[in-house]
Structure 1
Amino acid sequence: MKKNEAPSQIMDKERSISTFISDIKSLFKAGVLIANVLPVFTGFWLALHFSNQSFMDNINLFVLTIIGSTLVMAGALVINNWYDVDIDTIMARTQKRPTVTGHFSLKIVLALGIVLSIVGFILLLFTTIEATVYAFIGWFTYVILYTMWSKRRYTLNTVIGSVSGAVTPLIGWAAIIPGIPLLPLVLFMIIFIWQMPHTFAIAIKKYDEYKAAGVAMLPVVRGLDVTKRQMVVYIACLLPLPFFLVQLGTTFIVIATILNIGWLVVAIKGLFTKDNLKWAHANFLYSVNYLTILFLLMILVTIPY
């Protein structure tokens, strides 16, 4: 502390630093970004395991893959914030984003999103072309097809947006092994299907905000009953997928099946409940933990002992 600084000045600086960190986390959607890194790592890890390669022998490739894919995803999320500033102003959960508060100018945010995306793609080009292509598919789907085209127009925006998250394990896998055999394809399907009930749960929780902002989410356009039924159907579609991953062993299949049945039970209860917000929140929490446990389990069952 400088001698000529008053306590109030120090507190102001601390608040400024805290606000800046909060703004950065909000701009990059830190939770979403971190959640997308795990499937990339899982795809990379499983590719190493099934090709009998050492992690340490591929450490440089791993760093390029993780940093490159993370920057691409961060770029896409930042551009999403830039484009959605008008509806973010209306929705309570997004009103503290720096694009809304004016802490960051929109020009800087757009430039940052573009730079992050380009740097990410350049880094991925040092892995494999295939991994870069999958990253581009995810980026293009999220930024162009979801954010700029379908989000405000069609309830299918959730289906379209799900593709961007589902390609993450393919990026990690393709950095090691070319082609798409059954295993990474099943990982793609798990995340793709998972995102539907996960996103619907959020849309039910934030129904009033999405309605006020004019976002074409399924509960807003088709109602809660239709959304609940679709959630049950999508979760039921997850049931057979663990059985296509026999390479991961019986323990994985049993635990994954228990997780699927548990989520299906939670979803079915929603067909008979009147407390939609409480039920939607329970589904949201289950979905977040579900994906984390499932992908961590894939890594744990393939760790050599």
Structure 2
Amino acid sequence: MNEHINSSSVAYNKSVVGQKTTILQDLKSLVKFIVLIANVLPVMAGFWLAIHFTNTSLTEHWGTFLLTIGGSGFIIAGALILNNWYDVDIDTIMERTQQRPTVTGNFSLRVVLIMGIAASLIGFILLLFTSLAAVIYGLIGWITYVFPYTMWSKRKYTWNTIIGSVSGAVTPLIGWAAIDASFHIIPFTLFLLLFIWQMPHTYAIAIKKNNEYSAAKVAMLPAVRGFKVTKIHMVIYIALLIPLPFMMSALGSVFVTIASILNLCWLVLAIKGFNAKNNYNWANWNFLYSVNYMTILFVLMIVVTLPVFSN
């Protein structure tokens, strides 16, 4: 693997001479900053909801909160760094990843590997001060993302998205388990919500970047089986989201109503894809909708459980 990576990196470095980035920009690219934040937010939501449903307060668990966010943040960052380290050969081909420091050579692959391992270890050590259950969920997410997804299925199988979705779906479980390790319908439903949501979200990206994935020989569904099959899968997964708000009825009728409306609107948008004149434009709208959908839902979960609304 390393020989292939190094040859690809050297080949690309010749074409990026003169393109400079700051250390901060390189670090943000290395940890995929937006992806990192997007994965830490569900941890925060899980933690907050656990406090709400166990009738405790954030002031009682402030230290645990910092350890949970810090620990999960380092674990997620470590996994993302290792993903960059391993994927440098395909990152040289895909336009959207060609400025990553592993590709430009700003960071050596040896340094990146050490950073990924170190960040992961720091994260697990911090989580150890919360609960064993939180560590286990963090470990499940990290192992799934680094090995079955990054190093095995991503390049070979169209169902790599399913495996990758597991790592993102365990994030609220980490936050919840830091407070309460017992089974509860809310964190279980959050896992299902994130797991299912990531499928149409990722497929929308895969359609948008289909040419790049095809060139890099990454086995994304649109590149292997075409847009029509991908659209069918998107509609099925979005339809599977429809029952989930009712499983979270403990959050109140306002949440269930708004979440249900969002689900139905997304389903309509997905179905329109079968008659779309511009697949890339339609995929972009689905991508934007998916991002705003999840942001609205998690903000809403927190808002409806604030003392001023929940009392």
Q: Same fold (TM over 0.5)?
A: yes
CA separation in 2, counterparts of 1:160 and 1:253? Answer: 28
Task: Give the one of 128, 135, 142 matched to 1:125.
Answer: 128
- 1:16 deviation in Å? 10
- Of residues 172, 176, 183, the one that matches 2:186 is 183
**CA offsets per residue over residues 90-129 of structure 1, 9 Å max, x none?**
1111011000000000000000000000000000000000
% identity of equivalent residues: 64
* 1:214-233 superposed matches below 5 A: 214-233=217-236
Q: Which structure 2 residues correspond to residues 262-301 of structure 1 after superposition, within 5 A?
A: 262-301=265-304
Q: Equivalent of 1:33, from 32, 36, 43?
A: 36
How far is 1:148 from its partner?
0.2
For the residues of structure 2 that align with 1:68 and 1:17, how far apart are their CA atoms?
32
Please name the residue that 2:196 is paired with.
193
User: Structure 2: which 5+ runs fail to align?
Assistant: 1-17
| Per-residue CA distance 1:166-199 (angstroms, 9 max, x = gap) | 0000000000001232110000000000000000
1:16–1:283 distance in 2 versus 1, CA, 3 Å: closer
SS of aligned partner of 1:127: coil
Q: Does 1:236 align with 2:242?
A: no
Match of 1:159 among 158, 162, 175: 162
Q: Which residue of 1 aligns with 2:252?
A: 249
TM-score, with length taken from structure 1 = 0.94
What SS is found at the alignment partner of 1:271? helix
Deviation at 1:21, TM superposition (A): 1.7
Give 1:117's aligned amino acid.
S
1:91/1:18 CA distance change after superposition, 3 Å: closer
- Normalization by structure 2: what TM-score? 0.92
Candidates 81, 98, 102, aligned match of 2:101: 98
Runs of 4+ in 1 over 3 A off after TM superposition: 15-18
Question: What displacement does 1:18 show?
Answer: 5.5
Q: Work out the number of aligned pairs and report it.
A: 291
Question: Which residue of 1 is the match for residue 11 of structure 2?
Answer: none
> In the TM superposition, what is the alpha-carbon distance from 1:37 to its structure 2 partner?
1.1
Q: Which residue of 2 aligns with 1:211?
A: 214
CA RMSD of aligned residues (A): 1.2
